[in-house]
Amino acid sequence: MPATTKRRPLRTLLAALSGMLAAALVTAPPANARVDEPTAALAEVTGFGENPSNLQMYLYVPDNVSDKPAVVVAPHWCGGSGPAMHTTTEYASLADRYGYIVIYPSVTRDTKCFDVSSPQALRRGGGSDPVGIKSMVDWVTRMYDADTSRIFATGISSGGMTTNVLLALYPDVFAAGASFAGVPFGCFATTDGAEWNHPCANGDIDRTPQEWGDLVRAAYPGYNGPRPRMQVWHGTEDDVLCYPNFKEQIEQWANVLGVSQTPAVTDSPQSSWTRTRYGGTGDQAPVEGISLQGVGHPDLYATGMAARVLTFFGLASG
C-alpha cells in the first residue's frame, strides 16, 4: 500500500475496507530506519514453549551480550513482522552497545496484527498472543540466564497496544514499557471476534482513571505486587489510533501506579515535543508521556527515540 494511502483520514480508509480489513490500517512502518547496522544476526527460534496463536519468535543476541542480560520485547505494527521491526528500529544496534537481548514476536495471522481485543488476550493465561510472548520471555531467561528484574516491552501501533496488554497481564514479568501510538489496555476489547474497535481507534472512549485502572487490575485478579512503569508516545495528528488515546493511557497507568494525574514536571526535550512526568521528575518516573505536535500515525517513530526509551528503562548506560 503506498505511503500516501496510509496517510489518508481514517474515515476514508474505513469506507474502502470492512470488517477485519480495518485492522490493516495500522500498517505504518517507522518513518526513519536506523543508520548503524547490528553486528550479530537475527535468528528465528522454534519450539520455545506454549504458543496458542502460532506466533513466530525472532531473537537478536549481540556478540557482546552481558552477563545476566536485560531483555527487550519489541512487537511490530499491523502488517509488519519481527524481521521488519528488527531492521527499521534501533533496538538491535543499541543492543550491540548495551548488551541486552531483543525478542521480536511476529504474527502469522492474515492481518499481521497482534490480538489486543479478544477476551482470551485480555486476561492472564487466557490464551492467544500474550501467552506465546510470555513463553518467548521464559525461553530467553532460561537459555541466557537473563535478569528477570530487567524485562521490558516496547512496540509501535499494534505493538504499542500489545505493550499495554503485556504490562497489564504480566506485571510480575515486565519492569517497564514504552508504547508508541497505542491505546489503553482494554480499550480495543471486542466480543464478536473482530480485531478492530472503531470507537477506541477514533478516540471516542473516555473513561475515568479509576475505570481504566480497574480494567488492568481485573486482568490479573488478586495481584498486589509492584507494577511496571509506562512511557507513552503519541502524535497529535494521528488519524488511525487517534490522539485522545494518549491522555487515556496516561490516566490508566497513573491510576494503576497510584500517582497523581497532575504532572510533576513538564518540559520540551526537543522542538515540538511536550514531555510530562507523573509521580517523579527523573528519567525513570513512574509514568512519562511524550506528545509530538503535528505528527501523524505513519511518521511517529524516528531515529533517536529508541535511545530515549532505553533511558526510561534504565538500560542506556555502560
Tens of pLDDT, residues 75-128: 999 999 999 999 999 999 999 999 999 999 999 999 999 999 999 999 999 999
Check residue 96 and give its pLDDT: 97
Active site residue 317: no
Residue 94 · residue 176 · CB < 8 Å: no
Check residue 29 and give its pLDDT: 52
Q: Give the whole-angstrom CA distance, residue 287 versus residue 134.
A: 23
Q: Give the whole-angstrom CA distance, residue 175 versus residue 152.
A: 6
Check residue 13 and give its pLDDT: 37
Is residue 55's pLDDT more than 80?
A: yes
Check residue 39 and give its pLDDT: 80
Q: Average pLDDT over the chain, rounded to whole?
A: 91
Percent of the chain with pLDDT over 90: 85
User: Among the residues of 170-243, which ranges form H helices?
Assistant: 198-201, 209-219
Is residue 7's pLDDT more than 60?
A: no
Q: Domains, the chain, ranges and CATH?
A: 41-256+295-313 (3.40.50.1820)
Is residue 144's pLDDT more than 60?
A: yes
CB-count burial class (<10 Å; 0-12, 13-18, 19+) for 294 = exposed
For residue 112 the three cell numbers come to 499481521
Check residue 317 and give its pLDDT: 74
Residue 65 · residue 101 · CB < 8 Å: yes
Crossing angle between the packed helical segments 128-144 and 158-169, to the nearest 10 degrees: 70
Per-residue CA distances from 36 to 77, 95, 309 (Å): 22, 11, 17
Residue 172 · residue 223 · CB < 8 Å: yes
| Position 36 confidence tier, pLDDT thresholds 50, 70, 90 | low
Tens of pLDDT, residues 174-213: 999 999 999 999 999 999 999 999 999 999 999 999 999 9
- Of 106, 118, 128, 157, catalytic: 157
Check residue 8 and give its pLDDT: 37
Residue 216 · residue 186 · CB < 8 Å: yes
Instruction: Report the Cα 256 to chain-centroid distance in Å.
Output: 17
Q: Give the whole-angstrom CA distance, residue 17 versus residue 154.
A: 28
Identify the bridge partners of residue 156 per DSSP, sorted by sequence position.
180
Residue 223 · residue 173 · CB < 8 Å: no
| Position 21 confidence tier, pLDDT thresholds 50, 70, 90 | very low
Identify the bridge partners of residue 44 per DSSP, sorted by sequence position.
58
